[in-house]
Each structure stands twice: as structure tokens, then as C-alpha cells.
Homo-oligomer: A and B are copies of this chain.
Amino acid sequence: MSERETSFWGWGYADKFPSHEARKSFGGQLKAMLGFEPSGPYDPPTLESVRVGESRVTAPVSLPFVTADREARVRHTYGRAFRDIVRGFHGDFEIAPDLVGFPKTEADVVAALDWAADARVAVIPYGGGTSVVGGVEARVPAGYAGTLCLDLRGLDRVLEVERSSLHARIQAGATGPVLEKQLAAHDLTLRCFPQSFEHSTLGGWLVTRAGGHFATVYTHVDDLTASIRAVTPSGVWESRRLPGSGAGPSPDRMLLGSEGTLGIVTEAWMRVRPRPRFRATASVHFGEWSDAVSATRALSQSGLFPTNCRLLDRREAALNFVTGDGSHVLLVGFESADHALVPWMERALELCRDHGGRLPKPPAYAERDEKSGDQGVAGAWKAAFVEAPYLMNVLVSLGVLVDTFETAVPWDRFDALHADVVTSVRAAMQEVAGGGFLSCRFTHVYPDGPAPYFTWIAPAKRGSEVAQWDAIKSAASEALMRNGATITHHHAVGRFHRPWYDCQRPEPFARALRAAKRELDPSAVLNPGVLFDP
């Protein structure tokens, strides 16, 4: 775990939060971009000033790694959705967990689960605490004596590497930088870079089916997983480390996406790879959105498997300072540890040109020494990408609503989905906030459909932010549902997506999964309220 202090109410490191003056100046610039002037800046609470519910449970002496310390409880109350950050900003930590545990070993996890099942205390597995769907929120249904948040970041080591198979056994509590640093010592990398990379953990990625670095083929962390080990209240679950199998339904695929409801993942064998040596990147501009979508579809169906295939609409392109000329921009990238990429990129750009794409600059090709780190365009992109969530802290402090939501849908349904989302979310912003900004990009693409990712920003009414957010979120989610899309492509379900997830999943499957849950967790102590009711 890093020693650098993190914000107790907002995203990431505390020292990244700008001064009142800097935020005021930034707020003044927002009108040009978003069309409204924020009411802030307001100042964040101090740790001493926030309201925290009384702990209802005494830390058991048998579990020395468990504490009822006030600050620990505050820091483990919420994830990092807008809904969470705004509550933290207002100093509301009433639903703080009663206890927080910091296990250092799998035996600690087993002991904590045993105790919790006896004491009927709900256990909330916690990695980086970066959930944007209420997955780690200490809010559980009635009937529990209390809540215990288990912070797994003490289990943070790469335990074993099998070089010829490109496998690494990694503990679930390792954050992105912590595990990548250990893999780099072997000249290997997992290359799973969710936007939360700096703070989120391998275990969190696995149980939420995180979206990684690759825009095609190996998009979800699911595909990077060779086996998983988890502690359940009914014993340890460990699958065989395999490159593939057809022996019954996949055990790993039941844990992937289980969001801490079936067991607590303690380690996994992951599929790692040599660090890339060759890179090719290009930005293709389009005047028409429909052309940009067609080009992206053609590329997704070409079998070229680009590493990066991110389409930004003109608003996203402007918001991210990619271009201000009103173009939609498709970022195309290839990378390889094995071969130069000219033929791949040339064919990709030919496809883009066939669909009306223009290249302001020729594609860039880079080859680097195998041991150096991420550099150049890709490095800059990655840096900007992981910085983006910090903007939410600033916007919250300015009195601005902001959120992102994402989905996946077949190509044949995309146009209708996009039109409906634009209409519905704009109408909802108009109704509850008097207007707002909405943009769209694709984060991943498949031969059969894109994973669109939307960002919306609207003026907040101070004190009513959660209700406003709920209304806009609901409008967005309803639009996804009625257009045959998924409620989430890689943000998970948690507590916030439950109503729509419940209607999306097949009812017999819901019953089967609930039966599996009852078998594994008969006391129903594991993350109750997430995925299903206990």
C-alpha cells in the first residue's frame, strides 16, 4: 500500500485536489465548454467534521487485524461514484461500516468469515474502493448485527511466475501499480488498465469483470484469467490453472462478476505477456458520426484486432483536447512484442478511408528498447486516462453533477440506442438541472457490437445532488434497457444497477445463482444487497 495519503471523500490522492483559487478559475472556464456556470467552488469537509454513525459491533479480540477506528471506518464507507463523492463532500458518513479489517493472509480472511457468519455481521470485501456502482458501500439490508469491511490490500504480492506459460500467481489485494512493478522485474506485464488502475486491485477487477487495456479480443479481465482461488464460507475454491478447458461449466466464470457475493478472491493465476516492443498509432477524423461508426464497425469485423480502437464523438474529442475542429476521432493503435505493425495499420487506415476518414497526420510507428517503460503517445494517453477521475472531485466541489455510464449493444441496435440515450439523458438533465452536456465514446468494440461509454455533466442543486443524479441515472438506465443493451459492460452491478440488472438477467438464471449463493454462503453474510437480496 502506498504511503501517499488518499482523499477520504474523493477520488485518489489527497494532494491532487486543487486549491480554492485554482478551482474557482477552472469553474470560470467551464461555461464556454458546458454551457452553464457552476455555483461553486465549495470547500471539502475535514476528517474531524464529518458525521459518522456509531459502531454497533465490538471488534473481536480473536481478530487482531480488525478495528473500529473512526478514520478507518470513514475511509471505507463508500466507493467512488459521483453519488459517493458528493455524500462524502457533504460530510455524510452515517452508514460507515461498523468494523474494518486488514487481513494479511488468507487465514485471516477465513477467520474473519467464520466469525462474521457466527455473529451475523455482513462482510464487504474491499480492494481499491473505486467501485462506481455501490459495490463496496456499507449499506446492507435489515437483519444484520453490523458490517465488517475487509480491506484486502495487505495481500499484494506476485507469488509465482511461470515464464514459458506466461502465467503469474498474484494476490488479490495487489493494486495495478503494485502488481505491474513486481511483474516488470520479470520483463512481464498484465496490461490490464482500467481507468481506476492506480488504486483498484486484481481481486476487484476479477469480481467486477473489469475492462482492461485491449479494445478487441481480450477486453475483459475474464480473458486474462487462468485460475482463481477464493475463500467461501463453505471452504476454499480453487480452479485448476489451465489455458482452456471444456470440462463442465467454467468455475472461474461463476466467480468472475460475482462481486464478493459468493466468496472472497484471495489470489489468481493470470495470463501475463512480454512488454510490447512495437507500437503503431493513428488518429482518424470524421465529419459525420455515422461514417465514424461504420468505419469502427468495419475495423472491428476485419480480424485485424487493434489494441486500441476508441471512437470519440466531437464532444468527447473536444473535452479531452484531442481536437477542437468539430471532428469525431477514431484512435487506432496496434502493439506487439513480436512484430512490426505496418501492414496491420495500413489495412486499418484503408478501411477508415473507405468510410470517409481523414488523417491529419500520418500514423506513428515506434520501436523501443524492451526494458524501458511506457513512453511517448501511449504513455501520455495512459497518464491522462488515469488522471480523468480526479476531475470528478473538482466538479463536485464546484457544484456540478457528473457521471459516466457504459454499455454494450449489437451494431444493429446501436443507432436507436444512441438516439434514445441522447434524447432521454438530455431531457432528464433539462428537467432536474435545467440543461447539461452529454458525450459518447467507444471503449471496446467487438465484431458484433460496440461498448459505448457516455459522459454527462449538469449543474447541481446544492443538497439535492443525489436525487438529481438518481433521476438522470434512471433515465439513462431505462434507455439502455429498452434498447436491448446491457446495464453495464465493465462497471459491474453493485447496489446502484440492481433494478435494471434484475430485469436483464434471465429469471431461471437468477434463481440458479441465488441457490448457488445459499449453498456457498448459508448465513448470507457476503456483500448482501449486491447482485441479489440475501
Contacts and interface: CB of A to CB of B under 8 A. Distances in A.
A246 B443 CA distance: 13
Interface string A487-511: 1111111000100010011111101
A242 B409 contact: yes
Given A243-B450, A338-B303, A412 B515 contact: no
Contacts of A14: none
A444 interface: yes
B211 A246 contact: yes
A159 interface: no
A337 interface: yes
Nearest to A508: B237
A513 B252 CA distance: 12
Nearest to A530: B248
Given A257-B246, A412-B165, A240 B516 contact: no
Contact of A165 (B166, B241, B411, B509): B411
Residue among A238, A305, A512, A516 with the highest chain B CB neighbour number at 10 A: A512
A232 interface: yes
B237 A509 contact: yes
A255 B249 CA distance: 7
Interface in A93-141: none
B237 A506 contact: yes
Given A253-B253, A347-B339, A166 B447 contact: yes
A246 B407 CA distance: 9
Interface string A406-447: 001111110000000000000000000000000000001011
Given A336-B303, A449-B165, A516-B513, A507 B246 contact: no
Contacts of A235: 507-508
A347 B336 CA distance: 12
A263 interface: yes
A505 B248 CA distance: 9
A305 B305 contact: yes
A410 B244 contact: no
Given A338-B347, A448-B167, A519-B511, A484 B241 contact: yes
B166 A448 contact: yes
Nearest to A350: B339
Interface in A256-303: 256-259, 262-263, 271, 273-274, 297, 301-303
Given A237-B506, A248-B531, A338-B304, A162 B347 contact: no
Given A251-B505, A254-B249, A486 B451 contact: no
A493 to B, nearest CB: 5
A62 to B, nearest CB: 24
Contacts of A165: 410-413, 448-449
Nearest to A165: B410
A235 to B, nearest CB: 5
A209 B488 contact: no
A401 interface: no
Contacts of A511: 234, 519-520
Contacts of A211: 246
A246 B208 contact: yes
Contacts of A59: none
A411 B164 contact: yes
A518 interface: yes
A365 to B, nearest CB: 14
Given A235-B508, A236-B508, A220 B244 contact: yes
Enumerate the 8 nearest inter-chain pairs by beta-carbon distance, A residue then B residue, closest first: A243-B449, A512-B516, A243-B446, A515-B519, A253-B253, A165-B410, A209-B246, A343-B343
25 contacts: A164-B412, A165-B412, A165-B449, A166-B447, A166-B448, A220-B246, A234-B508, A237-B506, A239-B509, A242-B410, A243-B448, A243-B451, A244-B408, A246-B486, A247-B488, A247-B492, A247-B493, A249-B254, A251-B509, A254-B254, A254-B513, A271-B448, A302-B338, A512-B519, A515-B516
Given A235-B508, A237-B506, A245-B486, 9 more contacts: A243-B449, A244-B446, A244-B451, A245-B489, A246-B490, A248-B531, A249-B257, A251-B505, A253-B254
